[in-house]
A and B are shown apart, each in its own frame.
Chain A
Amino acid sequence: MRRSAPDPSVAAGAAGSGGDDPAECPYCGSTDTEREHPKGPGLCRSMHFCDDCGEPFERFG
């Protein structure tokens, strides 16, 4: 059985909350961060990278 509608969780740019706002780095608080992947170790999280302190981190959504 095929889905009639595309899965919204895998639509480009649709995953995650906060739209395109950069995530706040949990280590240094910087928002000079970029999302590296819409999904992380769990599907409820996305992968980010902090350009200030050079740490990878996660965010819900």
Chain B
Amino acid sequence: MPTSMPTDTPGAPGDGTDSEACAYTAYEDGEAPEEYPKTGAGATGAEADVWAALYEVEDPEMPVSVVDLGLIYDVSVDEDSGLCEVEMTLTYTGCPARDMILNDVRCAAETAPGVDRADVRLRYTPGWTVAMVTDAGREALREFGLSV
């Protein structure tokens, strides 16, 4: 019987830590929602440049672009102010790579000509599923040893 068990749960509401993380990962089977995954097809100007830059960002755990994983939900650039807004998701809310991926995506977006500053926002709707992975992403994941 351990006697040194902490009595509070890290991330519990009200304890001052980040409590948005959850380890629940039961992915729905079936089709990706209409319009997903978003790959920037048809984007023009600075937005196309941002999509191209995001293709270069790999998931820290797998050699697959965050775009091919279907994590990028929206890219918009205000060409007057140079402000880029990226909306994206993670494979689950408790992803420990969260800060790293968000920073990589922000920095990549800011390399695009015409972008002065990028803001990256996390969204969890629609919920990510394996159906969001592009065909190129599937191929890369299989080579990596991940069943999709």
Chain A residues engaging chain B, CB cutoff 8 angstroms: 1-3, 7-10, 14-18, 23-27, 41-45, 48, 55-61
Contacts and interface: CB of A to CB of B under 8 A. Distances in A.
A22 B48 CA distance: 40
Interface residues of B, number: 31
Nearest to B60: A42
A57 B145 contact: yes
Contacts of A48: 147
A17 B141 contact: no
Dominant secondary structure at the A interface: loop
Interface stretch (B20-28, B31-39, B73-81, B108-116): B20-28
A16 B147 contact: no
A17 B9 contact: no
B148 A26 contact: yes
A55 B61 contact: no
Contact of B145 (A15, A44, A55): A55
